[in-house]
Structure 1
Amino acid sequence: MTNFFKYLFIVILFVGFTSCEDDLQLPDNVIEFESSQLGFVSTESELVININFSREATEAGSIELTATLTGLDYGVQFTTDPAMEAGKLTIPVVVGATNASFKVIKAEGVALLGDETIKFTISSSVDALVLGENAELTLSFAEIVATLGNFEPNVGGDLQPNKVFIDLSGSRQYFLSRSDWDLGFYAADDKFVVILNSSTGMMARQLDKNNLNDVTASDTTGFGQQLSLAAVFAAVMGPPPGWISETINWIDDPTGNLDATAIAAVSATEDDNKVYIVNRGKNADGSERGWKKVRIIRNGTGYTVQHADISATSFESINVAKDDDYVFNYVHFTNGLVEAEPKKEAWDIAFTVFTNSFPLDASTFIPFEFKDFVIQNRTAATLQIMTSTKSFESFAEADLTGLTLSTSQKGIGSSWRSIPSNSSTPPSVNSDRFYVVKDAADNYYKIKFTALTKSGERGHPAFDFELVKKGS
């Protein structure tokens, strides 16, 4: 296995050097709606609709949309921002933007039957933008259970700076920068558990101290050569050191097991809660996010997180109340409380960079970064189906009988794609399989991945989905 890592290191160096030799022409900047259908949730008074770009816009201009109304009159049941004129909307495009958006706003106090729709069509755009497959979107003025469609999750290209949440039944995607949070606090009543931001490669190591002000730089001697994904990778270039077997304990269990997190469950006995040295990992551009000393205690039915720089002689505190509308409530050390995922019933799977476990040998696992990773919500379940047993097209409701779906958050994981160790072979989708996804409302979908790259650039996943069984 050590030879594997040596080979991988050589491949990475080779790709890094050779990529600088040629100035490659930029791929087409493809624009399209996030999905082909959307619906208003009953509690929503307005809806933001995004038009995504496959890369940053290089020219300013606008995108023109044509709107076809069914059962609606503009200015009576709804308005838009920017305003619609003669059935058309003009959406500005800013240089450097990766999307453009507009709002549809319901009028107050107007009764709707629920069968009203607007079909938006991208009719023209600036010359530098190329129209993609999802050039039309139908918006329903009632909540939908999408029956089929396709997604191109906006992970942001090769560096994959975004974490993208997918709601299959709502035919929606939500994305945020994966550096927007540090710690997640479990929101249900039955546990007091804290998770790390796996997407930035965060790691945490416990000290035998329970007072943040007692911790100094001397307590972290040697941590710089151990407590990071880069340090682990470097260590396995030769004979693995004795500490390497401990590294898997410095990340959260990749399956999502909340009894095996890097930070121990928060005890009701305050003195039992130790200080942790936390490496916040890296931003998508490779810059370091820094180190913290952290201690977490209970605060009634919620949490208090105490944090400071390693050499600081005082600390800051952030109180976190449990909001059970979400699976986790989130904190950023600088920005405080942040919203870093949709409500727990509003997403099924997510695309992200992920810190997974990797076998060094039969008994030793180490943390390792995976791109193009798909995790699932704790309210969802998944199962891989090989096309040798059933084709995607023929898989139907009757085929669900007897299936046991996985609740591991990495039920799909990286199994949907192949990344060859040979740098001359491009990454590809594993077309010999598809997946069943059950959501929180017991809707069963089948999904088939169709793309991993676009114009040769990694970080452009795509998949088709279809409803197999509607929840009762």
Structure 2
Amino acid sequence: MKKALLIALIPLLSGCFKKEIPVDKPVYGATSSQVELGGNYANQIYYDLETSSIIRQNNREVWDLAFEAGENGFHILLNESRIMAAALSNETDITALTSDAGLTYHWDFHTGNLDSTAIGDWQSLGKVYAIDLGTALTGGSLGKKKLKVVSVTSAEYQIQFADLNSSVIQTFTIPKSTIAGFTYFSMTGSGSLVDIEPNKETWDLIFTAYCHVFDSHTPYSVVGVLSNRYGVKVQEVTIPFADLKHSDIAESAFEDRINVIGYDWKTYDFDNGIYVVNSNRTFIVKTVSGRYYKMRFVDYYDANGIKGAPKFELQELIP
């Protein structure tokens, strides 16, 4: 895991300034927007396509866990922007777990399938998890915790947590959000709720660093775009952006996975030390309110040549 994290940091520490690269001319009727993720891709940006606006943004270091809302919700997400991981132990008493020796860590799967989370169906197990808090923005380890989810109801979760080798156990009641898809939580100190995700009906995409897991066991830090799992669907098409019309939309081609747009609309040119955007890749996004937009990326650098500033074109597809 440490080796994978070191590899993941290579693009973060190089290629800060780009050389001049030709950019396609804007398509008539399309709007151009740009978001800036900041140094070390620190920001997570929630974006609404219909207003071409940022709904909310946060520093990605301030939260650890996200607890699913909804009457029957029980899934728990790790902060994948930090390559967090969880390992199931055989202990049922949280004080009994003091080491992660011999445990196997897992990561949330990048497709966003809630049945493929690292913590999984904790209700049927009743066990304690070791939690690797992942990597700080500066590149260092954030340490390890242990976690036991005691219970969940239609309204709240009860949890216990502590430093991995500590006998000082914290308990916390986490209310389920009534407007967002998840309630966000920090295990720093005695624990705290963190206001992260906006109303799930107000945003379509999140620009963020996240964890892509290769071969089911190799985590890699990537930067890209994930979609709102509550209503947003995306498909990639081969029709050029300029030619794509509403009549080209195939409803059956929309996918539920949150990483259809993902990260690989750009590639890293190691010879020149820059990111190169493939503006020939075109996506159709069905927004949370059911409208259709075509989208493509045209740049990854801001006006000063600093990386981490995805620039994209949007145009609504109207019958």
TM-score relative to the length of structure 2: 0.85
Deviation at 1:402, TM superposition (A): 5.1
Task: Give the structure with higher Rg (CA).
Answer: 1
Aligned residue for 1:284?
137
Aligned residue for 1:293?
146
Deviation string for 1:72-123 (max 9, x for gaps)? xxxxxxxxxxxxxxxxxxxxxxxxxxxxxxxxxxxxxxxxxxxxxxxxxxxx
Deviation at 1:276, TM superposition (A): 0.4
Pick the aligned partner of 2:44 from 163, 167, 190. 163
Structure having greater relative contact order (Cα 8 Å, sep ≥ 6): 2
Partners in 1 of 2:178 and 2:242 — Cα distance? 38
State the SS of the aligned residue for 1:398: helix
Aligned residue for 1:181?
63
Aligned residue for 1:101?
none
Q: Which runs of 5+ in 1 are unaligned?
A: 28-146, 224-245, 360-364
The reply on whether 1:384 has 2:240 as its aligned counterpart is no
Aligned residue for 1:226?
none
Aligned residue for 1:255?
111
Pick the aligned partner of 1:367 from 215, 218, 221. 218
Aligned residue for 2:256?
407
Partners in 2 of 1:435 and 1:311 — Cα distance? 47
The correspondence of residues 1-400 of structure 1 with structure 2, limited to 5 A, is: 12=10, 149-157=31-39, 159-173=40-54, 174-217=56-99, 220-221=100-101, 250-267=106-123, 272-301=125-154, 302-334=156-188, 335-359=191-215, 365-378=216-229, 379-386=231-238, 390-400=239-249
Pick the aligned partner of 1:426 from 271, 274, 280. 274
Deviation at 1:424, TM superposition (A): 2.3
Deviation at 1:403, TM superposition (A): 4.8
Partners in 1 of 2:96 and 2:102 — Cα distance? 18
Deviation string for 1:292-317 (max 9, x for gaps)? 01111224322112110122213111
Partners in 2 of 1:221 and 1:439 — Cα distance? 45
Deviation at 1:444, TM superposition (A): 0.6
Q: Which amino acid is the alignment partner of residue 274 of structure 1?
A: K
CA contact (8 A) 1:162 1:176 kept: yes
Deviation string for 1:113-165 (max 9, x for gaps)? xxxxxxxxxxxxxxxxxxxxxxxxxxxxxxxxxx95332112004x1011111
Partners in 1 of 2:266 and 2:299 — Cα distance? 9
Partners in 2 of 1:260 and 1:170 — Cα distance? 33
State the SS of the aligned residue for 2:91: coil
Partners in 2 of 1:300 and 1:190 — Cα distance? 8
Aligned residue for 1:54?
none
Aligned residue for 1:113?
none
Aligned residue for 1:446?
294
CA contact (8 A) 2:108 2:116 kept: yes
Partners in 2 of 1:371 and 1:254 — Cα distance? 10
Q: Which amino acid is the alignment partner of residue 367 of structure 1?
A: T
Aligned residue for 1:43?
none
CA contact (8 A) 2:214 2:220 kept: no
State the SS of the aligned residue for 1:175: strand
Q: Which amino acid is the alignment partner of residue 385 of structure 1?
A: V
Q: Which amino acid is the alignment partner of residue 278 of structure 1?
A: I
Aligned residue for 1:65?
none
Partners in 2 of 1:367 and 1:162 — Cα distance? 24
State the SS of the aligned residue for 2:81: helix
Flag the 1:333–1:425 CA change in 2: closer, same or farther, 3 A.
Answer: closer
Aligned length: 299
Deviation at 1:394, TM superposition (A): 2.3
Greater shift after overlay, 320-329 or 177-186?
Answer: 320-329
TM-score relative to the length of structure 1: 0.59
Deviation string for 1:162-199 (max 9, x for gaps)? 11111111322121101111001111223311010000
Aligned residue for 1:235?
none
State the SS of the aligned residue for 2:234: strand
Q: Which amino acid is the alignment partner of residue 384 of structure 1?
A: E
Partners in 1 of 2:92 and 2:128 — Cα distance? 5
Partners in 2 of 1:464 and 1:441 — Cα distance? 20
Deviation at 1:456, TM superposition (A): 4.1
Q: Which amino acid is the alignment partner of residue 407 of structure 1?
A: D
